[in-house]
């Protein structure tokens, strides 16, 4: 399930004629939106946030729709730009929207949006990096001194 519609993506391109022969179909755009929504869901799931299992606020729904729309606009725009020659150094709005999508997915994985979803989320798949260990359970408090000393014999 995508978070935005094909209409919302196509509205960013007012001169784009939808469902024309030899052009991008609505079905293709819908597939792109589904794929990007799956990437959004996967990134959120890494943080323990499952939007389909939550009652989302209007702000959360709008944010998810905007992020999904960034991906759709980026994908459609790059596809349409393939038919047009751009000047060297010319600003590409679709490429910028795609970069925004990728940057936001990275921020989701880093936990930047955890508070936005109102939960104290953490990686739901565990890990051994040390960041998942409660602050009060340090090696010293557990009696595990892992420091090596000079002339220490093992």
pLDDT at 134 over 70: no
Percent of the chain past pLDDT 70, that is, above it, reads: 70
User: 19: pLDDT confidence band, cut at 50, 70 and 90?
Assistant: confident
Residue-wise pLDDT tens digits, 35-70: 999 999 999 998 888 998 889 999 999 999 999 999
Helix axes 26-46, 93-110, angle to 10 degrees: 30
Give the span between the Cα atoms of 28 and 6, in whole angstroms.
10
Q: Structure pTM?
A: 0.67
Return all residues near 133 (Cβ < 8 A) that are at least 6 apart.
Answer: none
pLDDT tens for residues 77-103? 888 876 665 666 666 778 888 899 999
């Amino acid at each position: 399930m995508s978070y935005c519609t094909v209409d919302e993506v196509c509205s960013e391109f007012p001169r784009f004629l939808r469902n024309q022969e030899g052009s991008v179909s609505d079905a293709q755009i819908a597939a792109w939106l589904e794929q990007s929504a799956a990437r959004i869901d996967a990134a959120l799931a890494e943080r323990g946030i499952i939007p389909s299992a939550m009652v989302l606020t209007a702000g959360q729904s709008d944010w998810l729709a905007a992020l999904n729309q960034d991906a759709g606009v980026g994908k459609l725009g790059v596809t349409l730009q393939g038919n047009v020659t751009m000047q060297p150094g010319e600003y590409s709005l679709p490429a910028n929207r795609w970069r925004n999508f990728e940057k936001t997915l990275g921020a989701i994985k880093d936990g930047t949006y955890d508070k936005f979803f109102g939960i104290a989320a953490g990686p739901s798949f565990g890990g051994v990096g040390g960041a998942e260990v409660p602050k009060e359970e340090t090696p010293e408090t557990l009696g595990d001194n892992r420091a090596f000393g000079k002339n220490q014999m093992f």
